[in-house]
Amino acid sequence: MNVQQLESTAEALVTEGKGILAADESLGTIGKRFNAVGIESTEESRRAYREMLFITPGIGEFLSGVILFDETIRQKASDGTPLPEVLVEQGIIPGIKVDKGAKEMAFAPGEKVTEGLDGLRERLAEYKEMGARFAKWRAVITIVGQSLPTRRCIDANALTLARYAALCQEANIVPIVEPEVLIDGNHTIERCFEVTEETLRSTFNALYELRVHPKELLLKPNMVISGKEAPEQAGVEDVARYTVECLLRSVPAAVPGIVFLSGGQTDVQATKHLNAMNTMYENLPWELSFSYARALQELPMKTWAGDAENVEEAQRIFLHRAKMNSAARYGCYSEEIERDLVA
């Protein structure tokens, strides 16, 4: 394990003013997203779409890394350049999703545990050859009233995340550890706080037990937020405050950065929440950044709609969204700069 290399990659991923694009949707997920906006999902349409995002002029100013899916890391741009190389040319670090999805957990009705540890050491070695310098593994935790999640589901996922992270560090790949407490449901923000704290404590405990180095990983958590169906929705400042207070209680100061998922928030909401955290708090022990999929891609994907004629407009919208989140990293996002796009 090369500690210096891992630390410098982790730090580069949370460089000031830059964040991560999660473009690692599995075949099922990208199929659903394409379908919703009338794009047929084929190997070629997925390739063309992702190439369009990656070659967006100037995108390297706002993105430090992109997370790829197994299919994508093996694909090439129209000019024959492998897609990971296209990213490197933009000054962006290629990463790879290595989990194989969240599956029903035995003896835990309604809960899931993420699979993908079998053969992971060999897969990591292959991805490293292909240029990946960091990886991602997502675990999902479901809230249902006071009955879910169960402790056994939280702990099973925490242990799995820790085993994945240890294998990554052994392979000189920075692990992004993603325990996502889902936004689905009608729970309050307080209930989200309680479950997120329990999940993060269990996760960092497992990481410690398995000797994973906290300085050479990034955490990708949910924000602490009201359930999507909750009758009362917490405002922007409350989300920012609850989220940072929860993280202060449960994430070691040695972790260099926290890169949030957007998790079903709208694109503007995800930007506003990140901005509020960076405005309201100074001198936090970690960088607060983004690793969004939907909140960066929703409008660009819809605008592209599978038509080469729309590439320029989709890229313009994508660049703008990345720029807004870059501003949120400094706490200088505003509705005024949001409107610049229209001008």
**Catalytic positions:** 178, 220
138 binds ligand 13P (CB under 6 A): yes
262 binds ligand 13P (CB under 6 A): yes
Helix (H, G, I), strand (E, B) or coil at 103: strand
What's the DSSP call for residue 216?
Answer: G
Q: Which residues pair with 181 in a beta bridge?
A: 141
Helix (H, G, I), strand (E, B) or coil at 249: helix
Q: How many CB atoms lie within 10 A of CB 105?
A: 17
176 binds ligand 13P (CB under 6 A): no
Q: 50 vs 99, 101, 126, 254, CA distance in Å? A: 20, 21, 21, 34
By CB under 6 A, name the one of 175, 179, 185, 263 that touches ligand 13P. Answer: 263
Give min distance, CB of 293 to ligand 13P, in A. Answer: 3
Q: How many CB atoms lie within 10 A of CB 87?
A: 27
Q: Which is nearer to ligand 13P, 149 or 263 (CB)?
A: 263
22 binds ligand 13P (CB under 6 A): yes
261 binds ligand 13P (CB under 6 A): yes
Peptide bond into 149 cis (omega under 30): yes
Residue linked to tokens 């050479």: 216
Q: Which is nearer to ligand 13P, 153 or 225 (CB)?
A: 225
By CB under 6 A, name the one of 83, 217, 293, 319 that touches ligand 13P. Answer: 293
Contact yes or no for 84/126 (Cβ under 8 A)? no
Going by C-alpha positions, the residue among 143, 182, 136, 140 that lies closest to residue 157 is: 140
Q: Which is nearer to ligand 13P, 2 or 39 (CB)?
A: 39
Give min distance, CB of 273 to ligand 13P, in A. Answer: 12
292 binds ligand 13P (CB under 6 A): yes
The percent of the chain in helix, strand and coil, each rounded to the nearest 5, is 50, 15, 35
294 binds ligand 13P (CB under 6 A): yes
**Piece of the chain touching ligand 13P by CB under 6 A; list 41-49, 230-238, 255-263, 307-315:** 255-263
Give min distance, CB of 218 to ligand 13P, in A. Answer: 12
50 binds ligand 13P (CB under 6 A): no
Give min distance, CB of 261 to ligand 13P, in A. Answer: 4
d(CA 139, CA 76): 30
- What number of chain residues touch ligand 13P (CB under 6 A)? 10
94 binds ligand 13P (CB under 6 A): no
243 binds ligand 13P (CB under 6 A): no
Q: In sequence order, which ranges of the chain are alpha helices (DSSP H)?
A: 3-13, 27-36, 43-54, 70-73, 83-89, 120-129, 151-170, 189-209, 236-250, 267-280, 294-304, 311-330, 335-339
Contact yes or no for 300/317 (Cβ under 8 A)? yes
Q: Which is nearer to ligand 13P, 66 or 244 (CB)?
A: 66
272 binds ligand 13P (CB under 6 A): no
Q: Which is nearer to ligand 13P, 234 or 261 (CB)?
A: 261
Q: Which is nearer to ligand 13P, 69 or 333 (CB)?
A: 69
Give min distance, CB of 123 to ligand 13P, in A. Answer: 18
d(CA 128, CA 140): 26
Tokens of 86: 């296209």
295 binds ligand 13P (CB under 6 A): yes
206 binds ligand 13P (CB under 6 A): no
Q: Which is nearer to ligand 13P, 225 or 261 (CB)?
A: 261
Q: What does the binding site for ligand 13P look like in residue numbers (CB under 6 A)?
A: 22, 138, 178, 261-263, 292-295
